[in-house]
Structure 1
């Protein structure tokens, strides 16, 4: 048994090292060293991730996802100054980041490896940022960077200025590997809303585990084309098609938005104005359904009111200014 275990360890190390070309021309670590604010850091991360049709996205292995979860768990407990597991250390970096605007310190986990030196990170892992002294248990998530233009800096600004707990960024354009979509398991799909085998979804799972039954909300920031859902400017849902009722958070968010932006046309799930209700979103499906029992072939079941923790925001291009969202978010989650 010992010989077999040693052989597997050596084999695993060999596979990992094989992904790191030796003597690659221009090999570099993309650490965004000149970024002084979270907005600048996230813009840098966006600009060096795999783009549409690039063919660059590597679904993480089970071991890599497990290691990533362990790192995310430590970050959520307030730790940041520790060594990464070996399975991740070839590709990612963890560090403290002090924002020049507010002087606050954040813990950042981000992909950095660019072993072929093409200016683009190699895997599409993305990034996770934690504010250990947060005031709000909100997770601001951007699953479609580049594609949903501007949502990266919008979400991180709202995260920063509302003193929320976490910010989560997918690691590649949703169509970096076009035509290879999948809902479950190890898939080549780079669309983080449709593939559970991504570090984006892995982090979401760990955030869920961290909170357990404690109240928190995952807010996913999305963008729709100007000619999509023309009757509305903004559309809110929980990842289900049923209309919200009672003291629902998306109704409260709509009320607080309209109090400051009375000309905005804001739709919610259940209306005929827009059908972008994110019913196939794997993060929403997991958060809305029973623990780890989520079916991918049908629409998500309406969640109990107490579990409506998933907030999905669709916006036309002219409605992604973070400064217009900060006060409504503060009022909705005081």
Structure 2
């Protein structure tokens, strides 16, 4: 299979990719922006399962954005009432495209999530947050990882995992979601990914972190690097490729599709005590960035 180097839609450093000047970008604290977005998520909140066509339209829009065709991306996304806005993160000065659902502010949001794309660097890797709020603090861990490594794509699920009927909004275990469709597109492009989860401290009392490559083994070298980086920062890590660990993520559907395509995937579970401490969360994110920094330095990704 051939390779294609993808460039962010701000590759020139001056244009958003749709002819708009950078002055049209909105300055925000990205961490606060995402916290405000997820603050509305509750177990009894709204969730509307997307149709196959709706999933395809959102994914097509994200794909066009990654290829630098922002105007076409906006047209495609508008068909399903999504949009793109440029954000300048006030903490880092970096620019991100936010792919968002215009229905988010409606009385009955669909819960399809958001995607953030680094506009100042080539897109190369992803960080995934399938259970925001339900896995407390994982959305903020995702922001820390995105901010600290160039070329990232952050995918945040749009509803609490217990919203909707049954497990309809548990995106880590469903293939019929916008979240999964976008992650599958990134896998198709060869983007390695790290998915962030959380567990109650008493679920694995001897460990702060459970690191796994899910169903596959392609990410094992990266998993070792991550586990070593976590250990060096004082975390007790269960390495799922070495021993039996709880919460190994073997049934995770994003990990399964990555395994099918031989793309590195890491499924990482953090204890509540790690996610609830600002200092420990910062150290955990720094350890994850040891791996994402290597992904960012890769020579290219496949198409």
TM range (shorter): 0.7 to 0.9
* 2:238 corresponds to: 267
- Equivalent residues in 2 for 1:293-332, closer than 5 Å: 307=262, 309-320=264-275, 321-332=280-291
Whether the aligned pair in 2 keeps the contact of 1:108 and 1:129 (CA below 8 Å) is yes
- Aligned mate of 2:157, from 170, 177, 186: 170
Matched, 1:53 2:44: yes
TM-score, normalising length: structure 1: 0.72
Whether the aligned pair in 2 keeps the contact of 1:64 and 1:88 (CA below 8 Å) is no
Matched, 1:256 2:246: no
* 2:124 corresponds to: 137
User: What SS does the corresponding residue of 1:223 show, helix, strand or coil?
Assistant: strand
| Structure 2: distance between partners of 1:114 and 1:242 | 37
Deviations 1:244-303 (A, max 9, x none): 86xx111111112222x13x21111145562211111110011112x5xxxxxxxxxxxx
Pair 1:65–1:114, CA change in 2 (3 A): closer
Matched, 1:68 2:41: no
- Equivalent residues in 2 for 1:1-334, closer than 5 Å: 36-49=28-41, 51-54=42-45, 56-82=46-72, 84-85=74-75, 88-89=78-79, 91-113=81-103, 117-118=106-107, 122-134=109-121, 137-178=124-165, 180-181=166-167, 189-211=168-190, 216-240=191-215, 248-259=221-232, 261-262=233-234, 264-270=235-241, 274-289=245-260, 307=262, 309-320=264-275, 321-332=280-291, 333-334=293-294
Whether the aligned pair in 2 keeps the contact of 1:277 and 1:312 (CA below 8 Å) is yes
Pair 1:40–1:244, CA change in 2 (3 A): closer
Paired residues in the alignment total: 265
Structure number, greater radius of gyration: 1
State the Cα distance separating 1:85 from its structure 2 match: 4.2
| Structure 2: distance between partners of 1:84 and 1:240 | 35
State the Cα distance separating 1:208 from its structure 2 match: 1.7
User: What SS does the corresponding residue of 2:203 show, helix, strand or coil?
Assistant: coil
Deviations 1:1-41 (A, max 9, x none): xxxxxxxxxxxxxxxxxxxxxxxxxxxxxxxx997111111
State the Cα distance separating 1:164 from its structure 2 match: 3.6
Whether the aligned pair in 2 keeps the contact of 1:222 and 1:315 (CA below 8 Å) is yes
User: What SS does the corresponding residue of 2:115 show, helix, strand or coil?
Assistant: strand
Please list every run of 5 or more consecutive structure 1 residues that lacks an aligned counterpart in the other structure.
1-32, 182-188, 292-306
Larger fraction in helix:
2
TM-score, normalising length: structure 2: 0.78
Q: Which has the higher contact order (CA 8 A, sep 6+)?
A: 2
Whether the aligned pair in 2 keeps the contact of 1:140 and 1:166 (CA below 8 Å) is yes
CA RMSD of aligned residues (A): 2.7
* 1:13 corresponds to: none
Whether the aligned pair in 1 keeps the contact of 2:131 and 2:161 (CA below 8 Å) is yes
Whether the aligned pair in 1 keeps the contact of 2:258 and 2:265 (CA below 8 Å) is yes
Bigger shift: 192-201 or 85-94?
85-94
Pair 1:48–1:81, CA change in 2 (3 A): farther
Please list every run of 5 or more consecutive structure 2 residues that lacks an aligned counterpart in the other structure.
1-24, 295-303
State the Cα distance separating 1:233 from its structure 2 match: 0.8
